[in-house]
Structure 1
């Protein structure tokens, strides 16, 4: 549905190197009815999916650890970040994407996944919508070591952690990735590992 209070005047591509950075100039009608010209940049990297793998019998979760240059340049001394498995949709639908990413990153082939919600992650500057999933895993679902694709320069460490430890890692700042925090809190609120 089109918003009649917004009129895009121009769109300029500032960068199309890794993903696409655009500058939008637009008119916005304020609450008093007057129009105001604004300019904003929006980074389009596509949409993605993220998943929390949990084992209710062992009370564990599967997370990953990898180097993230944006965090390294913004105060994360090692650049390493603990995260839930995630990836860009590319041309897949969200469920196909998260099944593919889970297998590539963690080595687990899932039998079923459950979509729980979707969210804009940084709506002031990034267009991405992230689709969130949870899935139970078991040891017999492990078909490879995971670690990501070498040709994508992924060097992913797979972590199996007690859920209580993951919760504590959020509290003490060891886990600082928003999607991972949201999934861990979802698991807490919905008592996924209390069953």
Structure 2
């Protein structure tokens, strides 16, 4: 995937939709303190293991905040994921994200919870709920790629390459992705 990024600019945030910057003041042990934070939605993410390809199905997409800090990173490698912004169970949101981003139809009973954790605790403190599902080509219903103006590319990573992928610093990736690989090797495959 090649991304050509041009006319990249930053502006102050006003009337935000997904994140809300705030200044927090508080007193801790008798000392007044202040902190800057972002109020944001919780999220779901799912490690997809493709049993016929013996691969993980990841998504690649452009993330402006990553590019803002490192212009060499025109996309990131991530788990299929989405924000929790609707009145539905977390598993239903996971199911919808797998369909929208990756093009696979996964039944609810085939989606299992791994754990949940707080992401970027110094800034947003949002919670991510991590899941696992097995897919195969009989479940493929379309090409994926996201909805609306999302530009998501699917990326199959062979399981035997995952451990070295974790430590490849040239690839921008999320901590949840790396943690999920460790979980897989601890709980699903001993190697």
TM-score by length of 2: 0.84
Residue of structure 1 in register with 2:10 after alignment: none
Alpha carbons of structure 1 residues 60 and 72: separation in structure 2 relative to 1, 3 Å: same
Q: For 1:64 and 1:167, how far apart are their aligned partners in 2? A: 18
Residue of structure 2 in register with 1:83 after alignment: 78
Alpha carbons of structure 1 residues 109 and 194: separation in structure 2 relative to 1, 3 Å: farther
Task: Give the alignment partner of residue 129 of structure 2, picking from 120, 128, 131.
Answer: 131
Q: Which secondary structure state, in structure 2, belongs to the residue aligned with residue 122 of structure 1?
A: coil
Residue of structure 1 in register with 2:97 after alignment: 101
Equivalent residue pairs, number: 174
Structure 1 unaligned blocks of 5 or more: 1-13, 30-34
Equivalence map 1:163-174=2 (5 Å): 163-173=159-169, 174=171
Alpha carbons of structure 1 residues 63 and 161: separation in structure 2 relative to 1, 3 Å: same
The Cα shift of 1:16 comes to: 4.0
The Cα shift of 1:128 comes to: 0.8
Residue of structure 2 in register with 1:4 after alignment: none
Q: Which secondary structure state, in structure 1, belongs to the residue aligned with residue 59 of structure 2?
A: strand
Alpha carbons of structure 1 residues 166 and 175: separation in structure 2 relative to 1, 3 Å: farther
Q: For 1:60 and 1:73, how far apart are their aligned partners in 2? A: 31
Residue of structure 1 in register with 2:151 after alignment: 155
Write out the 4+ residue segments of structure 1 that deviate beyond 4 Å after TM superposition.
none
The Cα shift of 1:45 comes to: 1.6
Q: Which secondary structure state, in structure 2, belongs to the residue aligned with residue 165 of structure 1?
A: helix
The answer to whether residue 43 in structure 2 is matched with residue 42 in structure 1 is no
8 Å contact kept, 1:54–1:193 = no
Residue of structure 2 in register with 1:146 after alignment: 144
Q: For 1:107 and 1:57, how far apart are their aligned partners in 2? A: 16
Moved more, 14-23 or 175-184: 14-23
Alpha carbons of structure 1 residues 169 and 175: separation in structure 2 relative to 1, 3 Å: farther
Q: For 1:181 and 1:15, how far apart are their aligned partners in 2? A: 34
Once the two structures are superposed, residues 101-128 of structure 1 have per-residue CA deviations (whole angstroms, 9 ceiling, x without a partner) of: 1110000111210011000011111131
8 Å contact kept, 1:169–1:175 = no
